[in-house]
Amino acid sequence: MRSIYFSAILFLIVSLFSAADHAAQGKNPGKELKAAVDRVDKASDVVEDVMKVAEAAIPSDLMDKAKAIVVFPGTLKAAFIVGGQGGKGVAVRRVGKGWSAPAFLNMAGGSIGAQIGGQKTDYILVIMNEKGLKNLLEDKFELGGEGSVSAGPVGRTAAASTNATMDAEILTYSRSKGLFAGIALKGVVISQDQDMNQAVYQKSAKQILGEPPVPASEAPASLQKLSETLAVHVK
């Protein structure tokens, strides 16, 4: 019964965020591009802030091996008995020594328990292998499953990480109230932001990040900031 209730709440959260996004963005391509630029800028700022202090950053050897990077800036977490979180993010895929054009994603999730309050949290997902990338490109993908998602290590190097972390498909991090750390982010659903991807590219997220990916140079110049920021910090 608890499982059915949780599934119903999760479906409601996903539906509410999708409906709110659609209503806010409408069918105005100019308005959606402006919102897309704002989202990319915020995601770039998160990466810049996290990576500028090596001792408290995502290890460079992990970032150098990453197949893709996903950033959800300012994700809202709210709770009153039944909790939930939702946010809008940006994903880029490695293309040679650079990165792809940004694709746009949504995040939603839920939890049940005695909780109250709300806060905004930044999330970074480091996609480590082809299986993780394939999952990300699904229309909807729930984070979880044994060995597939792990809290990522923080510091100059990941050499001392456990095999479980090094073998993970996706390493997940969060930053809230100035604290940045790895987090076991599970039970969260990631879906494509169809309206924004279509308005900006006339393509789906899968077409933007799939084979072959759309290179950053083919995105509007105003949407290349995340790729440029990663180029500074990742080999």
Taking the C-alpha atoms of residue 32 and residue 23, their distance in angstroms, rounded to an integer, is: 12
| In the predicted structure, residue 193 carries a pLDDT above the cut 70 | yes
Tokens of 161: 């990480």
Residue 119 binned pLDDT confidence (cut-offs 50, 70, 90) = confident
Q: Name residue, tokens 């995340």.
A: 226
CA atoms within 13 A on the CB side of 145: 12
| In the predicted structure, residue 50 carries a pLDDT above the cut 90 | yes
| In the predicted structure, residue 19 carries a pLDDT above the cut 80 | no
Mean per-residue pLDDT of the chain: 81
Taking the C-alpha atoms of residue 32 and residue 11, their distance in angstroms, rounded to an integer, is: 25
| In the predicted structure, residue 136 carries a pLDDT above the cut 80 | yes
Q: Please, what's the b/e burial string for 9-36 (b: 16 or more CB within 10 A of its CB; e: otherwise)?
A: bbeebbeebbeebeeebeeeeeebbebb
Write out pLDDT tens, residues 216-232: 999 999 999 999 999 99
